Amino acid sequence: MEKIIHYLKQHWSLEQIVGCLFSGKLSFKTIYRWINRKLLNFNAITYLRQKGKRQHPKETRGEFNVGKLISERLKEVRSRNVFCHWEVDTVVSSRGKSKGCFATFLERKSRYLYCFQMPDRSAKSMEIVIKKLISSLPTGIVKTITVDRGKEFVCYKTIESQFENNIYFADPYSAWQRGTNENSNGLLREFFPKKTDLAKTTQAELFYALYSINH
């Protein structure tokens, strides 16, 4: 019990706890039953990653002519056997509270998460942080990027022409096609709930969140 409680507080999922510590000995479903029956003697619900039903709001950020479709991606992207393929998304502040947001970068093979603050969800801001990521890494580390159809990614042509990489667009309302990135965004929300003004987040707070998620 003590190990389970310790790693829950370190933001591990029940699946991770069982897979790393109790493989073949304990089921994560059993731990869920313990939590529901309040057998862990602490408020474990607040540490679970999905505390309610997922929402699938309709896209309201406008439309534009997208470039390459996700169906055109190389097989090596889907297989996750090569380190250099990324998923990119945004995490925003509460509606009407602030324009401040995060750009999240998830490398598909390693599941490693990078994150940059942005003053707003504009294409210009996204262009700046994508260039910042690519320029800060060795040549060839960012070979492809997969994104949704948010208006902030209208900058894709500039990125492709400057760095000679490929940006692919997921199908509409298909968050599962970027499931790893969506999951990492959910982990960030454990540290920065939806009511948080992300414009006021400090670099130390963001670093702590990223360190905890990546480790």
For each of the domains in the chain, give its residue range(s) and CATH number, in order of start.
Answer: 2-47 (no CATH), 68-214 (3.30.420.10)
Enter the DSSP assignment of 194: T
What gap in Å lies between CA 75 and CA 84, rounded to an integer?
13
* SS3 label, residue 169: strand
Return the sign of the alpha-carbon dihedral for residues 34, 39, 214, 86: positive
Helix then strand then coil, in percent of the chain rounded to 5, is 45, 15, 40
> Residue 161: CB partners within 8 Å, gap ≥ 6?
none
Statement: residue 63 has pLDDT above 70: no
pLDDT, position 52: 38
Using DSSP's 3-state secondary structure scheme, residue 117 falls into: strand
Per the CB < 8 A criterion, the answer to whether 88 and 105 are in contact is yes
29 or 170, which is more confident? Answer: 170
Q: Taking a C-beta distance cutoff of 8 angstroms, is the pair 134, 163 a contact?
A: yes
- The predicted-structure confidence for 173-204, as pLDDT tens digits, reads as follows 888 899 889 989 999 999 999 889 999 999 99
Provide the 10 A C-beta neighbour count for residue 104.
22
* Mean pLDDT, rounded, for 123-145: 96
Q: Each residue of 12-26: pLDDT tens digit?
A: 888 878 888 888 888
CB 69 within 8 A of CB 169: yes
In which band, very low, low, confident or very high, does the pLDDT at 10 lie, cut at 50, 70 and 90?
confident
Cα end-to-end span (Å), the chain: 21
What token pair was written down for 45? Answer: 């619900």
Q: What contacts 118, CB < 8 A, 6 or more positions away?
A: 90, 100, 101, 102, 103, 125, 126, 128, 129
Give me the sign of the Cα torsion angle 12, 16, 17, 21.
negative
